[in-house]
Structure 1
Amino acid sequence: MISLFRKIRQKLLQQNRVTRYLAYAVGEIVLVVIGILIALQINTWNEQRKDKEKENSILLGLYTESLGNRENLKTTIQHHEALLETTKSLMGLFYLSDYELKNYNLDSLIERTIDFRDFNPSLSVIQDLISSGNLGLISSENLRVLIFDWGRETEELKESYETLDESAAQLMLPYLTKNASMKNIDRYGFLKWEEKSRFNVSTHLLFQELEFENNLDNQAWGLANYLKALYVLEEIIEKIISETSPNRIPAE
């Protein structure tokens, strides 16, 4: 093609047809420019297609990771809701008679108030997305905001858990260690001791003590605060799942 254009130019110059040569030269330039523009457009389209494929892969990864996190989150919420209800129930047992208190397995109920667990979501996809600089590939501004919200609220959740954990470590557990049998309490927890403590311990006497009531109240507050943070995460993750659902990803 280039050889053909060169021959045509030489022929026009030999015939001293300068005007036609210039017009032809301009046309040749226009054709070259058009060819470059088409090539650039094809390259741009290919890059956009690759970016879209990457975005769809990221969305699928976010969707899968979020589904797993949602299941773990729901389990964690249900567990701590039960703990809070048990704590509230214990708050209603103060100053009952010994006869009435004997109708309750107090050691088991107390164990249920301290069996809290930290929620550690999987963050591999989100962390990789941010560290790799690929966050800009996500076309949905709403989803990008949700990803940042998830990161911020997981930090808030850590603080809520640390508050709950510190309260137990500094108040409730030292009090129980001094005034109750941890072995009897742990019979219903992780250790599952088969025998009770051989020391003569009267757990029902705790329900005559203001300090124990205050410790339970602090525990209830910490659980409620932790649940509040878990509920916020639950709302965010539901929105992320909705935004990344395969049904919303357009077919190639």
Structure 2
Amino acid sequence: MIKFFRRIRQQLLTENKPALPAGRFSKYLIYAIGEIILVVIGILIALAINNSNQNRVTKEKEQIYLAGLKNEFETSRLKLIQLIEVNRQNYEGAKEIMGHMFMDTVSITEVQFSKLLFGSFASDIAFNPNNSLLNEMINSGSLKDISNTELRKQLTNWISTLEDIARQENELGVHREKVVDIIRINENSIRTIMDLSGVSQELGLPMANVKMSNLKLLESTEFENNMLIFILTSYSTEKNHYNPLMHHLNYILQLIEAEIK
């Protein structure tokens, strides 16, 4: 391109040979202007090439990030699905226990009660999403390489949403511990729960020769009150926190997939 303009400039100078000194000045003026134009054109072309290369590198980098984020959020989605199911099993088991409380006659066996207690209170509830790439992008400032403004906003909001989820899970854990604390006291037996639910055998622990009954918990108002709070908190965790979180996660995945080329 530059050579092309240079040939035109030289041709003009050759065809317009001055006959007077003033014409000679005009020739040099045209020559100088031509050189300036060529330099400017060269700079503009170089900038265009550089910008084009930079845009290409940025786009390639963005696609790598998008593929990694898609993988992370798909894994997090599977984890959240499993966690919702565990949380639901916990409060459904607790609700089943509530159905046997303060009955005129005992309506559940020690084995059934032990299995329900273990199934409802053995598992902590904590969402542990895969955020290593997202955290790296935020810490390094690479989140700006995501061109979709809405996606950048949702990725930033995702971190603050997880903090809210953690607070709710911590509250749920406190109420779970209050129920477990009642079972821990001297009048009840965790050993019976472990033996009759099959946990002792799985861990290779010796079975107790004498089983202490936990059925008296079914007539404890303190136990009932803490169970009710646990059920309410577990249900709220699913409906008011996990379900909106799943919606948020699916929306982010939708935005990511739309940007992947």
TM-score (norm 1): 0.86
Deviation of residue 104 (structure 1)?
Answer: 7.1
1:244 is matched with: 256
2:180 is matched with: 173
Contact 2:62 2:145 (8 Å CA) reproduced: yes
2:169 is matched with: 161
1:128 is matched with: 136
SS class of match (1:79): helix
* Cα distance change, pair 237–28 in 1 and its aligned pair in 2 (3 A): same
Deviation of residue 195 (structure 1)?
Answer: 6.2
1:58 is matched with: 65
Deviation of residue 96 (structure 1)?
Answer: 1.9
**Structure-2 separation of matches of 1:143 and 1:234:** 16
Contact 2:102 2:218 (8 Å CA) reproduced: yes
Deviation of residue 79 (structure 1)?
Answer: 1.1
TM-score (norm 2): 0.83
1:38 is matched with: 45
* Counterpart residue type for residue 235 of structure 1: H
* Counterpart residue type for residue 179 of structure 2: M
* Cα distance change, pair 162–236 in 1 and its aligned pair in 2 (3 A): same
2:237 is matched with: 226
Deviation of residue 189 (structure 1)?
Answer: 7.0
- Give me the CA root mean square deviation: 2.8
**Structure-2 separation of matches of 1:154 and 1:70:** 13
**Structure-2 separation of matches of 1:44 and 1:186:** 67
Deviation of residue 126 (structure 1)?
Answer: 0.5
Which segments of 5 or more consecutive residues in structure 2 lack a partner in the other structure?
Answer: none
Contact 1:181 1:197 (8 Å CA) reproduced: no
Does residue 205 of the first structure (1) align with residue 212 of the second (2)? Answer: no
* Cα distance change, pair 14–128 in 1 and its aligned pair in 2 (3 A): farther
* Counterpart residue type for residue 231 of structure 2: A
**Structure-2 separation of matches of 1:13 and 1:216:** 105
Aligned residues: percent identity?
27
Instruction: Identify which range, 205-214 or 219-228, moves more after superposition.
Output: 219-228
Higher RCO (C-alpha under 8 Å, 6+ residues apart): 1
In the TM superposition, 1:32-111 aligns within 5 A as 32-102=39-109, 105-111=112-118
